[in-house]
Amino acid sequence: MKPIKSIERLTAAFRKLPGVGPKTAWRYAMSLVDADDETAREFCDAILSVKREVHRCIKCGNYTEDEICETCLTRDNSVICVVAYPKDIPPIEKTGFGGVYHVLGGTFSPREGRGIDDLRVAELVERMKGVKELIIATNPDLEGEATALYIATKFRKLYPDVKITRPAQGISVGSEMEFMDEATLTRAFSSRREM
């Protein structure tokens, strides 16, 4: 049977999503072939609207549809939790953390050619006024640890009165914040240690 080009195209598009293999991609594509026009249109509109409306908060760097996100506007700005990516925030939210975040946009990674200058460190300096504690919650892997150490050293010099902490490492080395269960992360946060 001759392959149907437009279905192949849609399948290839789904395969670009994380965790979607060829079979699942094909099933997703087929479900849209069978969907009514309205469902298909809603699907396209939702994707386009995300691309149009969502951008980074000018303070913390997390995703928002506003200039400054609601977290930055409404929460305690004296405790900042530093993370590598926006995807690290939802699991930390579940621990009941009540401060604000700062998204670095990655970790220090010589392998991928990403240096400290590529991270949002200058933006963090900009918002340090009135800050009492900086929690550095990058992943407990090699790159996350190196980044945490760099930031701790730099900010300790610049702001000797600010407490700089890191979630406790009951967490196995190499594990990612994104996939940690709520209880482990809550424990790591409540018993954070000073760096």
Catalog residues that contact Zn ion under the rule CB under 5 A. Answer: 57, 59-60, 69, 72
Minimum distance from CB of 64 to Zn ion (Å)? 6
Minimum distance from CB of 38 to Zn ion (Å)? 35
Minimum distance from CB of 172 to Zn ion (Å)? 30
Cβ proximity to Zn ion, 90 vs 174, nearer residue: 90
Minimum distance from CB of 77 to Zn ion (Å)? 10
Cβ proximity to Zn ion, 10 vs 89, nearer residue: 89
**The Cα angle at residue 62 between residues 163 and 153, in degrees rounded to 5:** 30
What radius of gyration do the chain's Cα atoms show? 20
Cβ proximity to Zn ion, 72 vs 185, nearer residue: 72
Q: How far apart are CA 45 and CA 65, in angstroms?
A: 16
Q: Please give the structure tokens belonging to residue 47.
A: 């994707």
Q: How far apart are CA 61 and CA 85, in angstroms?
A: 9
Cβ proximity to Zn ion, 60 vs 180, nearer residue: 60
40-65 core/surface letters (b: 16 or more CB in 10 A; e: else): eeeeeeeeeeeeeeeebbebbbbbbe
With tokens 């010099």, the residue in question is 157
Q: How far apart are CA 142 and CA 108, in angstroms?
A: 9
Cβ proximity to Zn ion, 101 vs 108, nearer residue: 101
Minimum distance from CB of 59 to Zn ion (Å)? 4
Q: How far apart are CA 153 and CA 136, in angstroms?
A: 12
